[in-house]
């Protein structure tokens, strides 16, 4: 029983340490998720402290530590309060995550530029080209229109000039 409780405590501390170590890398890649990540880290820290408080009760139950009934009740209340705080932090983190995800994406209408009718009709939509050289394929339909290039992964320069 105590061994299991100690193992759970060690796992919580390890998760907290790993999350704290990787925080800067995560936040640099996803700055909009900073609060979500921070709430998660704080929740794991509070959960580890809460489990540490409950360990005192486990030690008391196994006769390793002598606590009075009032002390046990106070420690139990403190542990439950810390557990509640940790769960609230998880909830706040998830709410923040959902807020960011729902606010980040906004549908914006496409604006057509007036440029005469000397170009062929092109239906609105997404046109993908996976040929090695797509320029000749897209040059004619784009003639006279504003072009847009969307790249998910920007090209990296090779350092050669």
What is the SS3 string spanning the chain?
A: CHHHHHHHHHHHHHHHHHHHHCHHHHHHHCHHHHHHHHHHHHHHHHHHHHHHHHHHHHHHHCCCCCCCHHHHHHHHHHHHHHHHHHHHHHHHHHHHHHHHHHHHCCCCCCCCCCCCCCCCCCCCCCCCCCCCCCHHHHHHHHCCCCCCCCCCCCCCCCCCC
First to last CA, the chain: 65
Domains of the chain, residue spans: 2-104
Looking at residue 50, what is its pLDDT?
96
Contact yes or no for 19/40 (Cβ under 8 A): yes
- Summarize the confidence of residues 17-25 as an average pLDDT: 95
Ranking 36-40, 119-123, 151-155 by mean pLDDT, the lowest is: 151-155
CA distance 15 to 12: 5
Looking at residue 129, what is its pLDDT?
73
Ranking 2-11, 46-55, 84-93, 109-118 by mean pLDDT, the lowest is: 109-118
pLDDT tens per residue across span 28-53: 999 989 999 999 999 999 999 999 99
Contact yes or no for 125/139 (Cβ under 8 A): no
pTM over 0.75: no
At 161, the pLDDT band (50, 70, 90 cuts) reads very low
- Residues of the chain with pLDDT > 70: what percent? 75
């Amino acid at each position: 029983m105590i061994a299991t409780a100690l193992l759970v405590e060690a796992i919580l501390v390890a998760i907290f340490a790993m999350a704290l170590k990787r925080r800067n890398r995560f936040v640099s890649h996803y700055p909009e998720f900073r609060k979500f990540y921070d709430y998660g880290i704080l929740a794991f820290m509070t959960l580890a402290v809460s489990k540490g408080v409950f360990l005192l009760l486990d030690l008391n139950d196994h006769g390793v530590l002598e606590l009075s009934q009032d002390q046990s009740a106070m420690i139990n209340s403190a542990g439950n309060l810390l557990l509640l705080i940790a769960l609230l932090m998880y909830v706040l983190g998830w709410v923040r995550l959902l807020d960011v995800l729902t606010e980040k994406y906004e549908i914006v209408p496409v604006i057509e530029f007036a440029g005469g009718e000397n170009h062929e009709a092109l239906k609105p939509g997404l046109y993908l080209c996976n040929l090695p050289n797509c320029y000749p394929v897209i040059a004619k339909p784009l003639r006279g229109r504003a072009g847009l290039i969307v790249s998910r992964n920007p090209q990296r320069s090779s350092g050669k000039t």
